[in-house]
A and B are shown apart, each in its own frame.
Chain A
Amino acid sequence: MRKIYFLFASLLAGNFLFSQATPPPADDNSLSMANTQGLLRTQLTLTPSWMMKGTSGNDSTSISSARTNVYLHGTLEYYWTEHFSTRGDIYYFLNKNSAPGGLKKNHSLQVGCSYHFMKGMSLDPYVGVCGGISLVQISPMDFMKGDSTFLPNYQVPSHLDPVWAPRVGMNFYGQHVFHFFVEAQYLMGTYRPAIGPILSINEIRISAGLGFNFVILHKEATVRPAI
């Protein structure tokens, strides 16, 4: 009988060991990033961009040169290892140009990957590449034939165009809740409508701001208390 009580008592002791919770941190701000593996990084920011001239056939053209476009840019990035991450980006075009032939829609959806140079550091410089698709449309315009208007105020249908872009950037992980980031991408693509001229949609997009971290895996290794 005594043996059974001992066994029971030892099982209970084991349960107490399992039921102990990790003591909560005194203050969330005292935690910092130690390791980016298993991290889900998110951000939403405003991104200015500048169109670059690109070649289209024998001509050098741009869909809206000398104009700054602004996008709402959202990112979801997952770090598979400390050096490698995959990401999805969405760009929503905000400041449409209502002038005839101006850029009306240029929304993009991109998927890509990044290589992060440093390991276990607060500074996280990286390079990456992504591919995707852009929904492009220009504002209604007149199509002239000689001196007469052939198609007055004609709205060209919106069009899906494949795009791709190299990217370079830097994250700064000070705290485990959020981070600062700055990045630039050179988007390359060509607008090929059913009607109207073929134009380049190459542009440089620069994003910067505050992003949020969600640690999904390897929580103990990823977040450390600051000393």
Chain B
Amino acid sequence: MGQVIDINELRRGNKIDMDGEPYQVVSVDFRKPGKGTPSTSVKMKSMISGNVLERTYKSGEKLSGADIEEREMQYLYAEGDQLVFMDNGTYEQAHVDAKHFEERGFLLDNAICQVLLHNGTPIGVTLPTWVEMEVIETEPGFKGDTANNVLKAAKCTTGVIVQVPIFINQGDMIRIDTRTGEYAERVAKTR
């Protein structure tokens, strides 16, 4: 069983069990009318169905943390709708349903990811925060055209399209934040 979490300690990102289903906390809103009693309303998203729940708790109420194990595993290959990951320590494999991925364009071969297991069953994958990919197609940049807030589309190795500053050229390596899908910076070429 997961540990007990006091409502005052609850934070965004915590994983809690609601009737045996794991939920991730999306937002925690502390409310307190003037001279009034505090309450905390919690918005949470099921880590399996994606359903969103909103509940309000009094101060001092307790929630039970979900039994979630996060294991570092390497992405091997796709097999139909299943993506196969392997624990490099134990060589154990896990098959993860592709529906857990909203955007597979940031999943590179051999990437080391965090696979989420709820009571031992894989329910999701966290990609590495930063991925580096080569731009394979974009409009050329112009010298002198350096305003940083003007963006254009660039197609990367996996086919994913990212908005990049105008000075990025085809063949450049760029770093992307997988949480937001946003361009972060240009990196030195490694090949």
A and B from one complex? no
